């Protein structure tokens, strides 16, 4: 299908001339005589790009139209046109998101070259989003707790800056997801988001992986390899588990952060890269620095803006929306509804989640695949979740456990199962537990159990 270009200009002759040029080159065109009509045409025509005049009487001018268009259709590239623009107009248009500014009188070569570049950028952005979605990078930060609200607010403040970020948190909390959110909300969103798992790189390949190598640089280097810093040039490099880098690799990373210069192994010339680095770790790097296991000067370079992700056990109110999110994902993959009843969700919320959100996602997937009924109940959950909130000790071994904690967990499990059997009806659950509804509510509040509601995917 040919790209569709919307021409927004109050001069009919300009529209006619540019439309004829574009149609002769295989483009489809649509036209609008002012900003108001242009905004309506964007909704109606769904153009692939917009040519927008700066000066248009009788309604919003080009800059006001651009500002509103970027709110309603942020992914559509906009090329501004004007014969009377000054530098301030061009700067403001760029800040509002214009792809480029063309001066009138227009030239065929200028219009075609600029539009093709804008369309290529649009295609690249779409492919970028598709890859992020396929890898799970574009998943939303799900949660209703105050901790998650504060995390989202912090990301909003941190993202537009160029400062380096150090994300801390236990394994499975979603550090890569937060790094991707920072990238997507930054001015680099159109560029690459490149991930490196520092813990997964063999010690003798760190330099090649990070900075690349030339053919023949070492035994087995049969072709040139572009390193991760070079791949991320202009974009964002995410260094996951940065605390696992060797001291030698830390020194080389520090040098690149200080100079912005890399050199491929076996290369003859240095390369300048412009990369925003976001690092993440589940280790205490301050303690590691005191023990000589992590360079203090590198820690200072990385930890300009610290972002901490709290573990899931500290925000149990996020379990229900996370279950709903993962259930909906599994429903899409399996082609059938995936439902968790009230008791099932209560039991999941009562678990300690040592593996955090990653463990919850895996458990929801397992339950969804193995489910034999239409709805997953507390009994289904109890079969796969350890009953004491932690992995069970091997048979015959004693594991110390606080009596009050064990009794609370047992009570949570009983209430969750009763709610499952009663399909969320608290009065019926109370009857099954041989108690009254008021007492059951009191116990639920004491145990931190939420009021019943079904979670459906």
User: Per-domain residue ranges for the chain?
Assistant: 4-130, 146-310, 314-456
Tokens of 246: 């060797």
CA pseudo-torsion sign 203, 204, 209, 210: positive
Q: 457 falls in which pLDDT band (50, 70, 90)?
A: low
Q: Is the pLDDT of residue 137 over 80?
A: no
pTM of the model: 0.62
Are the C-beta atoms of residues 63 and 93 closer than 8 Å to each other? yes
Q: 401 falls in which pLDDT band (50, 70, 90)?
A: low
Mean pLDDT, rounded, for 304-320: 94
45-59, 199-213, 221-235, range with greatest mean pLDDT: 45-59
Query: What is the Cα–Cα distance from 314 to 297, expressed in whole angstroms?
Result: 32
- Identify the CA nearest to 67 among candidates 93, 41, 90, 88: 93
- For tokens 């109606």, the residue is 44
Pick the CATH number of 146-310 from 3.40.50.2300, 3.20.20.370, 2.30.30.100, 3.40.50.300: 3.40.50.300
Residue 157 Ramachandran class (φ > 0 left, ψ -120 to 50 alpha, else beta): alpha
Are the C-beta atoms of residues 228 and 198 closer than 8 Å to each other? no
β pairing state of 100-103 and 78-82: parallel
Are the C-beta atoms of residues 3 and 27 closer than 8 Å to each other? yes
List the beta bridge partners of residue 165: 278, 305
Name the CATH topology of 4-130. Rossmann fold (3.40.50)
Q: Is the pLDDT of residue 454 over 70?
A: no
Measured in degrees and rounded to the nearest 5, phi and psi for residue 109 equal: -65, -40
pLDDT at 22: 96
**In angstroms, what is the C-alpha Rg of the chain?**
28
Q: Percent of the chain at pLDDT above 70?
A: 89
- Identify the CA nearest to 334 among candidates 379, 362, 365, 359: 365
- Interval 65-79: pLDDT, tens: 998 888 788 778 999
* pLDDT, greater one: 421 or 131: 421
- Determine whether 72 is exposed, middle or buried from the number of CB atoms within 10 Å of its CB (0-12, 13-18, 19+): exposed
List the beta bridge partners of residue 49: 5
Return the SS3 of 216.
coil
Same fold yes or no, 4-130 and 314-456: no
List the beta bridge partners of residue 101: 80
β pairing state of 261-262 and 271-272: antiparallel
- Identify the CA nearest to 75 among candidates 42, 44, 105, 109: 42
Give every CB contact of residue 399 below 8 A, 6+ residues apart in sequence. 393
Pick the CATH number of 314-456 from 1.10.760.10, 1.10.630.10, 1.10.150.310, 1.10.8.60: 1.10.8.60
- Interval 142-162: pLDDT, tens: 999 999 999 999 999 999 999
pLDDT at 203: 79
Q: What is the DSSP string of 431-442?
A: HHTTS-HHHHHH
β pairing state of 305-308 and 49-53: unpaired
Planar angle of CA 347, 372, 454, nearest 5 degrees? 40
- Interval 105-119: pLDDT, tens: 899 999 999 999 888
Query: What is the Cα–Cα distance from 208 to 221, expressed in whole angstroms?
Result: 10
pLDDT at 94: 78
């Amino acid at each position: 299908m040919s790209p569709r270009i919307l021409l927004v200009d109050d001069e009919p002759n300009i529209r006619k001339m540019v439309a004829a040029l574009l149609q002769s080159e295989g483009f489809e065109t649509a036209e609008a005589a002012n900003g108001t009509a242009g905004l309506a045409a964007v909704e109606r025509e769904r153009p692939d790009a917009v040519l927008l005049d700066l000066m248009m009487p009788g309604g919003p001018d080009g800059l006001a139209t651009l500002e509103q268009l970027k709110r309603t259709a942020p992914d559509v590239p906009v090329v501004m046109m004007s014969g009377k623009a000054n530098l301030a107009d061009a700067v403001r248009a760029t800040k509002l998101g214009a792809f480029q500014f063309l001066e009138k009188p227009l030239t065929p070569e200028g219009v075609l070259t600029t539009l093709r570049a804008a369309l290529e950028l649009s295609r690249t952005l779409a492919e970028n989003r598709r890859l992020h979605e396929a890898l799970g990078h574009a998943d939303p930060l799900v949660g209703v707790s105050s901790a998650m609200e504060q995390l989202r607010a912090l990301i909003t403040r941190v993202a537009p800056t160029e400062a380096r970020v150090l994300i801390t948190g236990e394994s499975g909390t979603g550090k890569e997801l937060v790094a991707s959110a920072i990238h997507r909300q930054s001015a680099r969103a159109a560029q690459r988001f490149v991930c490196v798992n520092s813990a997964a790189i063999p010690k003798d390949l760190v330099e090649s992986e990070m900075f690349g190598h030339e053919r023949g640089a070492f035994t087995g280097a049969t072709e040139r390899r572009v390193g991760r810093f070079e791949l991320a040039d202009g974009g964002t490099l995410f260094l996951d588990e940065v605390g696992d880098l060797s001291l030698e690799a830390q020194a080389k990373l520090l040098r690149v952060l200080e100079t912005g210069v890399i050199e491929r192994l076996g290369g003859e010339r240095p390369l300048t890269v412009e990369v925003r680095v976001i690092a993440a770790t589940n280790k205490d790097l301050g303690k590691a620095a005191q023990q000589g296991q992590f360079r203090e000067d590198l820690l200072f370079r990385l930890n300009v803006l610290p972002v901490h992700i709290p573990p899931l056990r500290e925000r149990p109110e996020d379990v229900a929306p996370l279950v709903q999110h993962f259930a909906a994902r599994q429903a899409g993959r399996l082609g059938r509804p995936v439902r968790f009843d009230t008791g099932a969700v209560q039991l999941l919320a009562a678990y300690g989640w040592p593996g955090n959100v990653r463990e919850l996602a895996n458990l929801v997937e397992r339950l969804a695949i193995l489910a034999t009924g239409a709805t997953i109940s507390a009994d289904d959950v109890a079969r796969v979740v350890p009953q004491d909130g932690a992995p069970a000790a091997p048979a015959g071994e004693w594991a110390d456990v606080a009596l009050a904690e064990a009794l609370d967990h047992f009570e949570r499990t009983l209430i969750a199962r009763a709610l499952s059997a009663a399909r969320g009806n608290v009065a019926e659950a109370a009857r099954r537990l041989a108690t009254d509804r008021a007492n059951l509510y009191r116990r639920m509040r004491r145990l931190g159990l939420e009021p019943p509601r079904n979670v459906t995917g």
